Amino acid sequence: MTEEALGGLAAGILGTLIGFPLDLIKTRMQTSQQHHRSGILSTGRSILQTEGILKMYKGVIPPLISLTILNTFTFTAYSYFQERYQAQRGWDWRNGWAGATCGPFSATVSTVENLLKTQLQVDTAHRFRGTRDCVMQLTRQHGVGVIYSGHGINTLREMTFLQTYFFVYEGLRQELMSRASGDTSTWAIPVAGGFSGAIAWTVSFPLDCVRAGVQGRSDLGKPLRAMDVFRDLIRRKGVRGLFSGVSPSIARAFLVSSSRFSAYEMVLWMLRGGRDAGLDLTL
């Protein structure tokens, strides 16, 4: 599993750095208390004009660390469960089941990362000086358990996302590889990766909106059920409120997943001496 771990490590670093600015825009759109919907361009422009370009990477340290760990673990665990379930390349439902099985384990890391990232991203009052200060203030005020606020809804989101993510990737990758030849096969991985990320985020996005509502509050000490956040979103914004921020999320998902799977497969290809299931990455 060392090869998969190194591939996941590369995927985590590259994907996080590419996708973080769009993730910030998505979070702002999700947690906005305004009844009218702001678009991706207007939200991004507002952040740049009022807070500056450096704000686009505020809170990047927690996801850079945790997503590197998370992707290393997730890709390694997926490879293990894929082998355990005897899943095959292509449209095999067991690939989706292997992905879903990783969900509860991945959530133990991503819940904390999402909480800190979301708190920093919605901190327009500049309460926190950085990640460490955010952790210190939150745990001092609400206890250590606060870092797992929203763990239940985030676990459900992870299972839904990873199930769709790996099922679509494996199926689409094999489909594109079978139709491609020579140099064109190189594009199968970024295209399959991009679409798998976009589709998985679309499917799991309502759950992510609810998660952001639970974790993006300033009063984390007060109990709040995910179902209450769901009802409030429906009451204030209607069903469309469950998809606030979906545009930057899908754009980010395509870019991040395309680069993530490319980095993962490239590392495996290099470690295996250029041998990987008919994949030709020679330049």
The Cβ of residue 146 has, within 10 Å, a number of other Cβ atoms equal to 15
Question: What is the C-alpha to C-alpha distance for residues 31 and 17, in angstroms, rounded to an integer?
Answer: 22
Instruction: Check pLDDT > 80 for residue 74.
Output: yes
For the ranges 45-54, 82-91, 99-108, 169-178, the lowest mean pLDDT is seen at 45-54
Domain assignment present for residue 228? The answer is yes
Domain assignment present for residue 280? The answer is no
CATH number for 41: 1.50.40.10
For the ranges 19-33, 93-107, 114-128, the lowest mean pLDDT is seen at 19-33
For the ranges 42-46, 151-155, 212-216, the lowest mean pLDDT is seen at 42-46
**Is residue 225 helix, strand or coil?**
coil
Instruction: Check pLDDT > 70 for residue 89.
Output: yes
Domain assignment present for residue 247? The answer is yes
Neighbour-count burial of 125, counting CB atoms closer than 10 A to its CB (0-12 exposed, 13-18 middle, 19+ buried): exposed
Average pLDDT over residues 114-126: 87
Question: What is the C-alpha to C-alpha distance for residues 53 and 66, in angstroms, rounded to an integer?
Answer: 23
Domain assignment present for residue 128? The answer is yes
Tokens for 66? 């945790």
Distances (CA, A) of 227 to 59, 155, 156, 202: 27, 15, 13, 20
Confidence of residue 262 (pLDDT cuts 50, 70, 90): confident
**Virtual CA dihedral for 147, 18, 100, 69, nearest 10 degrees?**
-50
Domain assignment present for residue 95? The answer is yes
Residue 145: give the domain boundaries. 1-272
End-to-end CA distance of the chain: 27
The Cβ of residue 246 has, within 10 Å, a number of other Cβ atoms equal to 21
Domain assignment present for residue 167? The answer is yes
| pTM check: above 0.85 | no
Q: Is the distance from CB of 95 to CB of 87 less than 8 angstroms?
A: yes
Tokens for 35? 């009844």
The pLDDT value recorded for residue 99 is: 97
| Neighbouring residues of 86: CB distance < 8 A, sequence distance ≥ 6 | 94
Domain assignment present for residue 66? The answer is yes
Average pLDDT over residues 162-183: 88
The pLDDT value recorded for residue 120 is: 87
User: What are residue 15's phi and psi, to 5 degrees?
Assistant: -65, -40
Domain assignment present for residue 252? The answer is yes
Tokens for 5? 């771990």
User: What are residue 22's phi and psi, to 5 degrees?
Assistant: -70, -30
Q: Is the distance from CB of 27 to CB of 245 less than 8 angstroms?
A: yes
Would you tell me the crossing angle of helices 40-51 and 246-271 to the nearest 10 degrees?
A: 90
255 CB-side CA count, 13 A: 16
Number of domains in the chain: 1
| Neighbouring residues of 76: CB distance < 8 A, sequence distance ≥ 6 | 1, 4, 5, 8
Confidence of residue 253 (pLDDT cuts 50, 70, 90): confident
DSSP letter string, 70-104: HHHHHHHHHHHHHHHTT--SSS-HHHHHHHHHHHH
Question: What is the C-alpha to C-alpha distance for residues 214 and 149, in angstroms, rounded to an integer?
Answer: 7
The pLDDT value recorded for residue 244 is: 80
Q: Is the distance from CB of 127 to CB of 135 less than 8 angstroms?
A: no
